[in-house]
Amino acid sequence: MGKYLIYSIVSLSAPMTYATSIFTQIENPNIFTWNTMIRGYAESENPKPAIALYCYMHVNSIEPDTHTYPFLLKAVSKVVNARVGEKIHSITIRNGFESLVFVQNSLAHMYAACGQYNSAHKLFELMPVRDLVAWNTVINGFALNGKPNEALKLYEEMGSEGLEPDGFTIVSLLSACAEIGALALGRRVHAYMVKVGLTENLHANNALLDLYAKCGSIMNAQKVFDGMGERNVVSWTSLIVGLAVNGFGMEALGHFKEMEKNGFVPSEVTFVGVLYACSHCGMVNEGFDYFKRMKEEYGIVPSMEHYGCMVDLLGRAGLVTEAYNYIQNMPLQPNAVVWRTLLGACTIHGHLALGETARSQLLQLEPKHCGDYVLISNLYASEQRWSDVHSVRRTMLSEGVRKTPGYSLVELGNRVHEFVMGDRTHPQSEAIYGMLLEISKRLRLEGYVPHTANVLADIEEEEKENALFYHSEKIAVAFMLINTPPGTPIRVVKNLRVCADCHLAIKLISKVFNREIIVRDRSRFHHFRDGSCSCRDYW
């Protein structure tokens, strides 16, 4: 009788403490009962006891069956413990269960959830039978682990084998497309959603909204949102954050007010979007008002991310001393991101003393973060302190710190092209550099003067200008100018913050070549049109 009671308790999602108290009273629980308990913990908020139960079974020679492993591996996935997962994998092989499709799928999911996407893919390739769950698991594993190109390639293989994607596949694909800014491919996925009737799927619609927002196509994001029959907090938050990072701060705050009128309760993430909108639009007082409302009206305890937004809000507005004082008075111990935000503000607004203070804190928290060396180096360069610039570079070399290489991505013909600074590996390199020369000539006629302030002082001015003109985003724009029809928008995804010179140059390129150019850098979107940018030079 006890085993059926436990099954009922677990199935009704009752507290696991109650199920455990009954379980401990059963003299010789059978494997069905053990599996039920493991499943209960695996599906609870605290999955660790599922692994402890299995270890107890193993020590006491209680033989698992085919149903034990999927539940157990689900628990391992949730606690993200690849080492335990690998041990269980070896046991499934010894026990002869590895060949079962649902065990293989659970193993692939475990590896993907633990960040070991290559192991998940290897296991997938060895499967004699691969169902839709297996394909979805590995596609999603690639998408979640920052390997969008691999996810998209696997999707193409899936199509060639005649498998039709479902809602889960669609969400993974849209996430992968959003990661690398593959708008054309994302539109194809959208068309497929319409074709098979997935436009009523809330999760797929949220992913589609997120795709358009992250590709800088905010009007399409708005259309998806307006056409949704069902919305949740994620839908509203995605639109608010999307509008904010695309430079439409007032519209983002307008939708926040509408969200409240419609009875939706904003989450912590919603307020990150709201504070971001205030920060990137220079609305300091409004930002503090929303921060206060978040705490007092909604009872949300501010996280480090919220405090970071407030430091950014003050720093972007040039209130660098106020930002430092705010950090000093925070109830949480400031982390490296907060100090890095202050250092970035000091670099932009030329506040050397506070910049060095922020840098000293960062040296204690994350001494080998390459971005901090670059920021302090740029700050010294802006103050013409070239000996300090060289000292920073020497320290980087001696400490083995390497600068993260900048790269830019553009999509053409359902393929994503990647460029790095001074890139000459592309088959069209000759044409690209010819276009860069043409751009340079035409921009100078518009009065363009390269922004060389932060380039090392010990090289000739002409070399400085060449170094700037071969930045990856300029190469990407040149590539698109020679490969797309006149008037076609150009979309670029950049992994680092766009530099001041590239920002100035791309503004002029948009005017001279009559192109809308959308650049997504690591923190926001820049919509360049007719010589101006949506950020209004406030970024």
294-348 pLDDT, tens digit each = 999 999 999 999 999 999 999 988 999 999 999 999 999 999 999 999 988 888 8
16-30, 168-182, 518-532: lowest mean pLDDT where? 16-30
- Count of beta carbons in the 10 Å neighbourhood of residue 54: 26
Domains of the chain, earliest start first:
231-301 (no CATH), 320-404 (1.25.40), 407-533 (no CATH)
In total, the chain counts a number of residues equal to 539
- 3-state secondary structure (DSSP) of residue 117: helix
**How confident is the model at residue 469, as a pLDDT?**
67
Share of the chain above pLDDT 70, in %: 93
Type of residue at 53:
L
**How confident is the model at residue 191, as a pLDDT?**
87
**How confident is the model at residue 15, as a pLDDT?**
65
Phi first, then psi, for residue 535 (nearest 5°) are -75, -10
**How confident is the model at residue 462, as a pLDDT?**
40
Local confidence band at 451 (pLDDT 50, 70, 90 cut-offs): low
Type of residue at 209:
L
Type of residue at 37:
M
Share of the chain above pLDDT 90, in %: 32
Q: How far apart are CA 379 and CA 385, in angstroms?
A: 9
Dihedral sign, Cα of residue 206, residue 212, residue 214, residue 216: negative
Dihedral sign, Cα of residue 407, residue 411, residue 416, residue 417: negative
Do 174 and 189 touch, CB atoms closer than 8 A?
yes
Q: Give CA angle at 389 (387, 392), nearest 5°.
A: 110
**How confident is the model at residue 456, as a pLDDT?**
45
pLDDT at 54 over 60: yes
pLDDT at 465 over 70: no
384-388, 411-415, 456-460, 483-487: lowest mean pLDDT where? 456-460
Q: How confident is the model over 400-421, as a mean pLDDT?
A: 83
Full-model pTM: 0.70
pLDDT at 4 over 60: no
**How confident is the model at residue 205, as a pLDDT?**
93
Range among 43-52, 218-227, 362-371 rated most confident: 218-227
- CA-closest candidate to residue 164, choices 129, 188, 135, 200: 135
Q: How confident is the model over 526-536, as a mean pLDDT?
A: 87
Q: How far apart are CA 33 and CA 387, in angstroms?
A: 71
Q: How far apart are CA 530 and CA 517, in angstroms?
A: 10
Q: How far apart are CA 139 and CA 118, in angstroms?
A: 11
What are 73-98's pLDDT values in tens digits?
A: 888 888 888 888 888 888 888 877 77
- Count of beta carbons in the 10 Å neighbourhood of residue 83: 8
Looking at per-residue pLDDT, the higher value among 429 and 460 belongs to 429
Local confidence band at 282 (pLDDT 50, 70, 90 cut-offs): confident
Q: How far apart are CA 253 and CA 259, in angstroms?
A: 10
Local confidence band at 431 (pLDDT 50, 70, 90 cut-offs): very high
Local confidence band at 240 (pLDDT 50, 70, 90 cut-offs): very high
327-341, 410-424, 454-468, 489-503: lowest mean pLDDT where? 454-468
Q: How far apart are CA 84 and CA 156, in angstroms?
A: 33
CA-derived radius of gyration, the chain: 27
**How confident is the model at residue 366, as a pLDDT?**
86
- 3-state secondary structure (DSSP) of residue 408: strand
Q: How confident is the model over 233-260, as a mean pLDDT?
A: 91
Q: How confident is the model over 225-236, as a mean pLDDT?
A: 93
**How confident is the model at residue 452, as a pLDDT?**
56
- 3-state secondary structure (DSSP) of residue 79: helix
Q: How far apart are CA 236 and CA 251, in angstroms?
A: 12
On average, the pLDDT of the chain sits at: 85
**How confident is the model at residue 238, as a pLDDT?**
92
pLDDT at 409 over 60: yes
Q: Where are the alpha helices (DSSP H) in 181-303?
A: 183-196, 202-214, 218-226, 233-245, 249-261, 268-280, 284-296
What are 165-187's pLDDT values in tens digits?
A: 888 888 888 887 887 777 888 88
| H-run or E-run covering 464 | helix 461-469
Q: How confident is the model over 449-469, as a mean pLDDT?
A: 50
Q: How confident is the model over 515-527, as a mean pLDDT?
A: 89
pLDDT at 400 over 70: yes
Plot region of 440 (φ>0 → left; ψ -120 to 50 → alpha; else → beta): alpha
Q: How confident is the model over 5-32, as a mean pLDDT?
A: 66
| H-run or E-run covering 473 | helix 472-483
Beta strands in 386-432 (DSSP E): 407-412, 415-420
What lies within 8 Å, CB to CB, of 431 at 6+ separation is 482
Q: How far apart are CA 277 and CA 273, in angstroms?
A: 6
Local confidence band at 516 (pLDDT 50, 70, 90 cut-offs): very high
pLDDT at 458 over 50: no
Chain centre distance of CA 156: 23
Do 140 and 112 touch, CB atoms closer than 8 A?
yes
